[in-house]
Amino acid sequence: MQNIFVLKLGSSTVLHGAQIYNQISALVEQGSKVIIVAGGAEAIHKTYDNLGLPEKYLTLRHGNTVRYTPGKDMSIIKSAYNSIIIPKIEDELSQRGISVFSQIAGKSQLTWGKLGKPLLANKNGRNIVIRDSLYGKFAGCDVKQISMILNAFSVVLLTPPIFEKSVNDYINIDADMLAANLAIECNAAHLRFVTSTPGLLYNVNDVDSGIPDLYIKELTDTSFIKGKMKQKLRAVKRVMKHGRCDVAITGVHSLEHKTWVWNYHQADYYEQLFTNIVTIPSVSFDEHVLANYLNDLKMANITSNIDSAGNIVLKKGSGHKKLLLLGHIDTVRNFWQVKIEAGSLKGRGAVDAKAPFATFLSVLNKVKVPSDCQLIVIGAVEEESSSSKGAYQVRDNYEKMPVIIGEPSGIEKLTLGYNGLLKLKLNCHMVQGHSAGKGAISSIDALIDYSNKIREIMANYDPKGLSSIQDISHSKSDNQTELLLNFRVSRYVKSGYVEAIKKQTDKNISLEVLRDTPASTSKRSNQLANAFVSGFKVVQKMIPEYIVKTGTSDMNTLATQWTVPMVAYGPGDSTLDHTLQEEVPFADYHLGIQTLQEAIQTYLGKVTDNDK
């Protein structure tokens, strides 16, 4: 599960923050699975007060104050969560039609911890050793069980305390640290610490002193971080070291205003932009966080919005002569923590296709757009899925205009076209006889045999095409098998192949065409290709190598209805697409920016000169 959003809510946010519940509802509607970790300070105070008992705290020898929870008080802590915090969140979410699973985190040993060491406290000027306080640190959780719960519910709500196996009792844990560790263990994509301030402040008494970006590896002076925010910082540091998710501190009681937390601080603005874009996970169908981040960027003379498909759209200039730079902001699955090593940025999507998209943004910021022109950059969603929702939105709802596609070509190459894509889903359901019986055949046997027949048909229609089985799943209980079959369709394919495939029938097998997008190729003499020749000559002192790629891109989708000049360009070695070795040297990234900027400046100049 790749789209997990962990939210740590303080008790004040839980009890008084109405806006946060609408935002959680929006996350669920966008497809996120949400883990809420709720604190309970205000509820615990109220519970003690209702019982007529004082809360118990210890002053440690270094002056820090911590909660003291002897065994007899653990029931009070649990009651505060069970009677106040959990019912409040359940009620707010149920009003919004959201299914929620909620419990104290340690119940049924869903999470567990390790009892802390005896505390050296100061009482009346004397140092004393406290051995009976039930506190500790996170040690683990049942990830498989949490995943199963997330499959059944939209939201999982967990609160302290957690379970300690060695003493067979609950122990208290800081909710920030619980949230951080759950984000790490569950491989969450996004983590937000929701507070009562608009993010992290330089001055806690000045709400306008917000810090937009915090670079954790360079944070040496922490004197401005006060009170409970210190513990939040410890949690942030842990997840930034061990987690894969993007992290932000947000508020007031909402996700609106935030301090983004980053591991790397680049001296160059455009390297920082590239690094941040790769750091924010954006697996297909979970692009909204990155889209919103880009929509919030402040770049001079550039407007932005998110369209109805979820694409991020940025524009510069207002003239009638338009050029579209179409990239995509989604990636395939399995993201990991971003690293910078040996002058290269390493992370999921660095090659495919965040380096090309960051190149587009950089050029949009740098290029001078003539008064009669407009430069548009779109980061499409769902390019890596069969839906291609973002590209279809552009094709069907935007004005036709010349297009540069943002895909990794390598800095010395220009892509003129792509193979097409035929994606089929085959399903076989049949009664299986005894495996030792004569002529016995399983649904797997039948489906493999059927797929081979389809591949033979396609080989006759398209000898230069490629085919591969992308996925296969089997249910033993009902002998049902499903198979996804991909064909990379060349531009030399003979027409009629889909109809021929559909004629290959089998009573036990159903066939569904998930996608049928033809190949697309542009001429090297088109206006955009010529502009790139100029760009390559000026910047790289060479003529580009022209290539047609065996893969498929959004160029294919647009070309089904747009008869306009198209090329594709972007830094990155496409042989690393979708691998665990995606990386792009910053030197290539900068050279790609320079080459693209020169090509676009040349193109815009020529279309303007044509009217003179």
**In the chain, domain spans:** 4-262, 311-418+520-609, 420-517
Q: Which residue has the tokens 């119940």?
A: 107
Q: What are phi and psi of 344, to 5 degrees?
A: -125, 150
Specify whether the CB–CB gap between 229 and 200 falls below 8 A.
yes
List the catalytic residue out of 246, 330, 352, 554. 330
Residue 436 pLDDT exceeds 70 = no
Whether the pLDDT of residue 442 is over 90: the answer is no
Query: What DSSP designation does 353 have?
Result: I
**What CATH fold (topology level) applies to the domain 420-517?**
Alpha-Beta Plaits (3.30.70)
208 among known catalytic residues: no
pLDDT on residue 62: 79
Average pLDDT, the chain: 95
**271 classed as catalytic:** no
What is the 3 state secondary structure string of 129-164?
EECCCCEEEEEEECHHHHHHHHHHCCEEEEECCEEE
- What is the pLDDT at residue 124? 82
- CA gap 430, 507 in Å, rounded: 9
Residue 434's pLDDT is what? 42
Q: Does the pLDDT at position 194 exceed 70?
A: yes
Closest CA to 600 of 389, 308, 410, 364: 364
- The CA distance from 211 to 123, in Å, is 38
Q: For residues 114 and 74, what is the distance between their CA atoms, to the nearest angstrom?
A: 16
Paired strand residues for 545: 413
Mean predicted confidence (pLDDT) in 116-127: 90
Superfamily (CATH H level) for 311-418+520-609:
Zn peptidases (3.40.630.10)
Domain 4-262 has CATH 3.40.1160.10: yes
pLDDT band, very low/low/confident/very high, at 1 (cuts 50, 70, 90): low
pTM comes to: 0.94
Q: Report pLDDT digits (tens) over 367-403.
A: 999 999 999 999 999 999 989 999 999 999 999 999 9
pLDDT in tens, 63-106: 888 999 999 999 999 999 999 999 999 999 999 999 999 999 99
Same fold, 4-262 and 311-418+520-609: no
Annotated active-site residue in 383, 582, 583, 588:
383
**pLDDT score of 226 more than 90:** no
